[in-house]
Amino acid sequence: MKIFRFACTLIVLPAMLHCQPVPQIVYTYSKWLTAGSVEMFAGIRPNGIAGTAQFRCSITNPSFTPTYYETTPRPYPTDTGLVEISQVLSGLPTDSSYTFAYGVDLSTDSAALFGQMQSSRAGDTLTTPELATLRPLDAGLQKVSVSARCNTHGAPTFISFSWSSGEYYYDGGWTVPVLVTSTKDTVITAEFSGLVPAVKYYIQAFGMNAADSAVAAHGEYDSIMTMPDSNAVGVVTPLTVLASSGIAWTGLNFGLHTYATDCIDVMLGEFELPPVAPGFDVRFANIHPAYAACNGLGTYADLRPFVSPAQADTYRVRITADPDQYPMIFFWPPLDSSYTGAVTLRAGTDTINMKTSQSYILSDPDVSAVTIIARLPVPRHFEPDILIGRTDYFDSAVVQLHATVNPNGLTTTVWFEWGPTTSYGSQSSAQFIDPRYGVAPVAAHVSKLASGTLYHFRIVSQNSHGTWTSADGLFSIASPLSVPTTKRPLPDHLALLQNYPNPFNPSTEITYTLPARTRVTLRVYDILGKEVALLADGLQEAGYKRVSFSAVNLPSGVYIYVLNAGTFREVRKMLILK
């Protein structure tokens, strides 16, 4: 018997550069008429916009040779309310067994929309449920109430909800399925608990025919953010391992969090990893046998529950590497402000004080695990660092605002707000900052400004611990040479920040802070310790410093840059990819 898989792609392409409403696709479902003929339905809100509807599908056989099917585009009603449309797709194979997914395309003068996919079994007499995820009802610190509307079309159906960290991710959880037998529209409600405050969750409703799990449907994605908790604190320390081959293992983090558990916490960046592949791999392995079942094969982040400032925590780093990957170097940032007690690293017979050193060279290839013991933590709020940058003037009504943001190890969303008063009133699109790349520049293009008006602006950043705003800044398009500016306070500590972008080709920027007038050197070394660039050497005034580094004449690989300022010394790594 030939086996086919029937699939259709659905993508949403929103209208851009205008505010005109567009049609909405609310739900889809299907009903098989014969073994080779299916009727597909879609509920849409035209919002008064004329256009056409068309169902598109494809069949893929085991040799992955696709066959495409589609109905003839037809105009749909331009009502302002919800309308249901349907079309019949005939001529499908009748001598094959396959499952399929389908959807509807809406084409208008201003936008093209593609609805969500549903699945069914070829020739089945069962009807897929009609399902629509409704707006989330309520959100608290750690819980969200959700609802969905379901019409089973006479077939008993199990309804459940999922939450995840993003659309098309399945890294969250599910509610217990509820059996719906009513033939009328039924609203189902459920509650997710045990969530993390100030996190955006994606919600979706799922329906599955009680007689056949292949006959299924899902509602559209919706999202909601839990309430922030200003009391949430923690300590997160990034760890980087650099092999002798030049491979850098980044994205390792250990520490504490108010809402962490002893198992995997997806919303805090902990994800269960697949089995170790041959080559080079570094991951955290939970050393507590009681929690082995819920931590799987390890994670790249190991966050423990914060209980008290007197606690001590032990982390185990497991290394999989060929002998030629040794020696390897471990790097970490200064830990004096994160722990009042000792922080030690143990590898074989070596014991390293991680507070007096920021690196360790592991030379013994027989050592495949490293243990870190951290005592007496000093938890803090996870607040991003925001530095207001320059303002670029393009013409009499357009400026571009700049800032630099250090997410401090957490996924962060940033946007600008501006207006003629400190109430602001206008807002830019949100920009996502990946914490793996450290310091990131952000910018907003602001137009339609009034000549001669003094504008206030600020940068707003948001992560899983709350929302923060920068100091107020000022700009005016009347005379760029006489623009009032907000005097930025001097930094209160020495720091070398992660370069951005990283990895890079061919150039990147390195930022550091000086709280006082200091003699500074900033050097770049290759993995063998050879100096390849001197970026700064001399007496510098206090402030926020930024230098450019060009790697046009350097090969790909890992490089180390070192800042010396008085008795202060900090080391970071960067990666050139060509």
What does the pLDDT look like over 62-79, one tens digit per residue? 555 667 778 888 888 877
Query: What torsion, rounded to 10 degrees, do the Cα atoms 483, 413, 253, 379 define?
Result: 70
Q: Is the pLDDT of residue 466 over 90?
A: no
Q: Is the pLDDT of residue 19 over 50?
A: no
Which of 101, 104, 123, 118 lies closest to 8, judged by CA?
101
Work out the mean pLDDT of the chain and round it to a whole number.
76
Region 111-137 average pLDDT:
56
Region 134-140 average pLDDT:
71
Least confident span in 64-68, 141-145, 282-286, 443-447: 64-68
Region 367-386 average pLDDT:
86
Confidence of residue 11 (pLDDT cuts 50, 70, 90): very low
* pLDDT for the residue numbered 12: 29
Distance CA 382, CA 410 (A): 8
Q: In what order do the strands lie in the sheet with 518-526?
A: 531-540, 518-526, 557-565, 568-576
Q: Is the pLDDT of residue 417 over 70?
A: yes
Specify the amino acid at residue 334. P
Task: Note the pLDDT tens digit of each residue in 163-213.
Answer: 876 655 556 788 888 888 877 778 888 888 888 776 778 888 888 878 777
Region 26-34 average pLDDT:
69
CB 244 within 8 A of CB 143: no
Confidence of residue 455 (pLDDT cuts 50, 70, 90): confident
* pLDDT for the residue numbered 127: 60
Secondary structure of 91-153 as H, E, C letters: CCCCCCEEEEEEEEEEECCCCEEECCCEEEECCCCCECCEEEECCCCEECCCCEEEEEEEECC
* pLDDT for the residue numbered 366: 94
- Within 10 Å of residue 66's Cβ, how many Cβ atoms? 10
Tokens (6 digits) for 120? 């069914």
CB 107 within 8 A of CB 17: no
Task: Note the pLDDT tens digit of each residue in 331-370.
Answer: 887 888 889 999 999 999 999 999 998 889 999 999 999 9
CATH superfamily entry for domain 495-576 = Macroglobulin (MG2) domain (2.60.40.1930)
With H, G, I as helix, E, B as strand and everything else as coil, classify residue 178: strand
Which of 58, 59, 70 lies closest to 96, judged by CA?
59
Which of 7, 28, 6 lies closest to 153, judged by CA?
28
Q: Parallel, antiparallel, or unpaired for β 426-427 and 466-469? A: unpaired
Buried b or exposed e, range 216-249, using 16+ CB within 10 angstroms: bbbbbbbebebebbeebbbbbbbbbbbbbbbbbb
* pLDDT for the residue numbered 465: 67
Residue 359: partners with Cβ closer than 8 Å, 6 or more residues away = 329, 330, 331, 332, 571
* pLDDT for the residue numbered 54: 84
Residue 106: partners with Cβ closer than 8 Å, 6 or more residues away = 23, 25, 44, 51, 52, 53, 76, 112, 113, 114, 115
Cα 274 off chain centre by: 20
* pLDDT for the residue numbered 532: 93
Confidence of residue 1 (pLDDT cuts 50, 70, 90): very low
| HSE-up (13 A, CA, CB side) for residue 559 | 30
CB 32 within 8 A of CB 122: yes
Q: Is the pLDDT of residue 524 over 90?
A: yes
What is the residue extent of each domain of the chain?
A: 3-125, 133-225, 234-375, 385-482, 495-576
Q: Is the pLDDT of residue 52 over 50?
A: yes
Q: Which of 24-28, 87-91, 423-427, 432-436 has the highest mean pLDDT?
A: 423-427
* pLDDT for the residue numbered 453: 76
* pLDDT for the residue numbered 4: 30
Domains 133-225 and 495-576 share a fold: yes
Distance CA 102, CA 2 (A): 21
CB 147 within 8 A of CB 204: no
CATH for 133-225? 2.60.40.10
Tokens 């098989």 found at: 32
Tokens (6 digits) for 86? 């349907």
Tokens (6 digits) for 318? 């497991």
Q: Is the pLDDT of residue 527 over 80?
A: no
Distance CA 254, CA 238 (A): 7
Query: Which CATH architecture is the domain 3-125 placed in?
Result: Sandwich (2.60)
Region 309-329 average pLDDT:
92
* pLDDT for the residue numbered 416: 92
Secondary structure of 459-517 as H, E, C letters: EEEEECCEEEECCCEEEECCCHHHCCCCCCCCCCCCEECCCECCCECCEEEEEEEECCC
* pLDDT for the residue numbered 442: 82
Confidence of residue 522 (pLDDT cuts 50, 70, 90): very high
Q: Is the pLDDT of residue 480 over 50?
A: no
CB 32 within 8 A of CB 118: no
CATH 2.60.40.10 is the classification of domain 385-482:
yes
Confidence of residue 2 (pLDDT cuts 50, 70, 90): very low
- Within 10 Å of residue 518's Cβ, how many Cβ atoms? 15
Task: Note the pLDDT tens digit of each residue in 555-566.
Answer: 888 888 989 887
Task: Note the pLDDT tens digit of each residue in 77-109.
Answer: 877 677 888 888 887 776 555 556 667 777 765
Distance CA 130, CA 114 (A): 17
With H, G, I as helix, E, B as strand and everything else as coil, classify residue 435: helix
With H, G, I as helix, E, B as strand and everything else as coil, classify residue 216: strand
